[in-house]
Amino acid sequence: MPETLAFSTSRRRLLSACAAAGVSHSLFPGALLGLAAAETPAGPLHPADVPAGKLAAITVAMIETAEAIAAISLTPEQRRMLVEGLTEQRASVEVIRTLHLENATAPAFTFDPVPAGMVLETARRPARLGKAPDVTKLSATAGASREEAVAFATARELGELLRQKKVTSVELTKLSVARLNRYQAKLHFMINLTEGRALAQAAAADAELAAGKPRGPLHGIPWGAKDLLAVKGTPTTWGAAGFEQQQIDSDATVVQRLDAAGAVLVAKLSMGALAQGDLWFGGRTRNPWNPRQGSSGSSAGSASAVSAGCVAFAIGTETLGSISSPSTRCGVTGLRPTFGFVPRTGAMALSWTMDKIGPIARSAEDCALVMSAIHGQDGKDRSVQAACFNWNAEFDWRTLRVGYLKAAFDVPKLEELKPVSESVTAKERAEYEARRAHQKENFARLTYDAAFDRAALDALKKLGVQLIPVDLPHDLHFGDQVPLLGAEAAAAFDELTLSGRDGLLTGQKPYDWPNLFRRARFYSAIDYIQAQRARSLVIAAMAKLFAQVDVIVTPSGGAQLVATNLSGHPAVIVPNGLRGGDAPKATVSEEDDELDNPGGPETPVSLTFLGGLYSDARLLAFARAYQEATGFHHRHPSLA
């Protein structure tokens, strides 16, 4: 990012050293700068280069320098008064660092998205499945056609095949393993196979099913785990270089619950390093619809593997788009559950107040079957509410009040850049022209995709849905609250920054974690708390919005993505058609960041349904009705 202040050479060195040192931002920024300043050589440092106990003394000059970062102005006397207290505060920080807190150690506070007065449904009832799917044609196919048909069948259909003894769990598992191995070189979606574990689980499932002891609709179904879920005896790499051999000696709660449901874990799937994007230590995970694109992330392998017909469903996580974005890119169905519905015990922590675990599958119904198995308190993750997910496939979704974000469906408008003057240099003019061309390309994509959004509204009207125009709360500055995520993430990986091991991560650009973790250290504890207080306003405003409607229809991007991740509301992302051959082309550079490489002919688009807190079951019932009416979820890529 460009600097906004004209620093002297020495001041630049001071700030650079501080950023490299990654010193705790809970200190006043003057102390931050002081840690890397007077007694260190000029130029950037790694924290390991600063010996313990050798930090420079905090001075009035350092405090004055830091005021620009803290966005405050002090008098000379106020600066002098701060020196002693900041020195003591820094010493306390150094003591806390000696505790070497693990990623699994959560803060002593718990985020609660439930507004005052809201009553949760706590009575758990058995899942009510819909009519069994007709699998006659599916079971009648043979050879390669049968493999394709089974590979892209829904979990519900596979369960029916198992019930009718048309296939065995061992056969499904071997098929899944074979496809994962076959497409790994093309899609880079897998970190480790769990073949031995899977075949043992599958054999046990077949024996239980043969004995008439079914465990439920997921019994015998192959699935994949985003590799931030701990699985005993298998590396849990978090997608990050330096963690390739990390072993966690227990299973995540979600893994335990899917084991109990009889599902068969076949692989640990790729994720962007430390849950960012689709770039991991083994490469960039690819989109099966267009392998020259990344699959987006960070649940990159989960979406790609489901899309490619390698697993029936997968588990992903979302902090700020990590289920929504890859589900959109790969044309699959994702559920980002209400915050506090699924326990995160045994999962890598990125943001304790925003992380959510949810399923990625072929259909909304499949997501509901998985959610039925994984939700609920485990006595360990204190953020999980005593709420129940009671799936009823026959729920009368027509009783729901359905809103739509009217402004998000408006025809896009091209905002012209301000013309440059005739006096600019040739380089500046070239940069301007490049920006304008990029803007026009993005506008062409937005305009093309907007037609799918409007067609979705027409489809809903044909279903008899009376759409109510609504809007997001105004003036709450959702994006300006996002730095709290960065602060929590920097705390979760504090030792990675302090040790200098962040240099091992594959991504080292300004928008990658190493730089973002360092930047977060300059975000004060006061500003973090103020952002959380602003978040309380978001929760209240969103509660008011969902008092008017039960479901909100929206395009999958935009401000709603940030707003609902802050407020903890659930979202279901569904495929909404395929772009035609006339679609604007995507960029195709192998090095492009996934956010800059969207769209393109014959790639999927998506639609998102939002719901009230802990209304995930009826939200999925509504999404299921839309999918049954449109059939977009049955489409799948053709993999050569």
pLDDT tens-digit profile of 551-560?
999 999 999 9
Specify the pLDDT at position 52.
52
Cβ–Cβ < 8 Å for 636, 309: yes
What residues have CB less than 8 Å from 88, skipping those under 6 apart? none
Is the pLDDT assigned to residue 2 strictly greater than 90?
no
pLDDT in tens, 340-364: 999 999 999 999 999 999 999 999 9
Is the pLDDT assigned to residue 3 strictly greater than 70?
no
pLDDT in tens, 464-478: 999 999 999 989 999
- Radius of gyration (Cα) for the chain, nearest Å? 26
The residue assigned the tokens 């005021």 is 67
| Range with lowest mean pLDDT among 42-51, 312-321, 511-520 | 42-51
Crossing angle of helices 300-307 and 169-187, in 10° steps, is 120
Computed from CA positions of residues 612, 614, 620, 621, in that sequence, does the dihedral angle turn out positive or negative? negative
**Dihedral-angle region of residue 251 (phi above 0 means left; psi in -120 to 50 means alpha; beta otherwise):** beta
Q: Domain spans of the chain?
A: 1-99, 141-399+616-629
Is the pLDDT assigned to residue 63 strictly greater than 90?
yes
In the chain, % of residues over pLDDT 70: 90
Read off the pLDDT of each residue in 218-244 and give the average, rounded to a whole number: 98
pLDDT in tens, 484-539: 999 999 999 999 999 999 999 999 999 999 999 999 999 999 999 999 999 999 99
Phi and psi angles of residue 44, each rounded to the nearest 5 degrees, phi first: -65, 145
| Domain 141-399+616-629 annotated CATH 3.90.1300.10 | yes
Read off the pLDDT of each residue in 594-613 and give the average, rounded to a whole number: 89
Is the pLDDT assigned to residue 182 strictly greater than 90?
yes
H-helix or E-strand containing 188? none
Residue 255: name the closest of 197, 178, 213 by CA.
197
Crossing angle of helices 253-260 and 364-374, in 10° steps, is 110
Q: Which residues are paired to 224 by β-bridges?
A: 267, 314
Measured between alpha carbons, how far apart are the two ends of the chain, in Å? Answer: 41
Residue 248: name the closest of 238, 267, 233, 226 by CA.
233
pLDDT tier, 140 (very low <50, low <70, confident <90, very high otherwise) = confident
The residue assigned the tokens 């991504």 is 507
Q: Are strands 604-611 and 571-578 parallel, antiparallel or unpaired?
A: antiparallel
Specify the pLDDT at position 421.
80
Q: Are strands 604-611 and 551-554 parallel, antiparallel or unpaired?
A: antiparallel
pTM over 0.85: yes
| Range with lowest mean pLDDT among 121-125, 511-515, 595-599 | 595-599
Question: If you ran DSSP here, which 8-state letter would residue 287 be given?
Answer: E
CA angle 253, 329, 225 (to 5 degrees): 20
pLDDT tier, 595 (very low <50, low <70, confident <90, very high otherwise) = low
Specify the pLDDT at position 21.
30
Question: If you ran DSSP here, which 8-state letter would residue 392 be given?
Answer: B
Is the pLDDT assigned to residue 395 strictly greater than 70?
yes
Give the count of alpha carbons within 13 A of 222, CB side only. Answer: 37
Computed from CA positions of residues 587, 593, 596, 599, in that sequence, does the dihedral angle turn out positive or negative? positive
Specify the pLDDT at position 591.
53
The residue assigned the tokens 């009832």 is 125
What's at 371, amino acid-wise? Answer: M
Specify the pLDDT at position 53.
57
Residue 409: name the closest of 579, 559, 599, 555 by CA.
555
pLDDT in tens, 197-214: 999 999 999 999 999 999
Distance, CA of 634 to CA of 620 (rounded, Å): 17
Read off the pLDDT of each residue in 34-63 and give the average, rounded to a whole number: 61
pLDDT tier, 84 (very low <50, low <70, confident <90, very high otherwise) = very high
What's at 430, amino acid-wise? Answer: A
Cβ–Cβ < 8 Å for 306, 267: no
Distance, CA of 171 to CA of 63 (rounded, Å): 67
| Range with lowest mean pLDDT among 254-258, 415-419, 455-459, 566-570 | 415-419
Phi and psi angles of residue 159, each rounded to the nearest 5 degrees, phi first: -60, -40
122 by Cβ neighbours in 10 Å (0-12 / 13-18 / 19+) ranks as exposed
pLDDT in tens, 421-475: 888 888 888 888 888 888 888 899 999 999 999 999 999 999 999 999 999 998 9
Is the pLDDT assigned to residue 39 strictly greater than 80?
no
**Average pLDDT taken over every residue of the chain:** 90
Specify the pLDDT at position 589.
56
Is the pLDDT assigned to residue 41 strictly greater than 50?
no
Q: Which residues are paired to 551 by β-bridges?
A: 402, 611
Distance, CA of 324 to CA of 340 (rounded, Å): 18
Q: How many helices (H) and strands (E) does the chain have?
A: 20, 15
Q: Which residues are paired to 391 by β-bridges?
A: none
Distance, CA of 307 to CA of 304 (rounded, Å): 5
Q: Which residue has the higher pLDDT, 205 or 137?
A: 205
Q: Which residue has the higher pLDDT, 35 or 293?
A: 293
Structure tokens at 361: 């599958």
Residue 611: name the closest of 345, 368, 369 by CA.
368
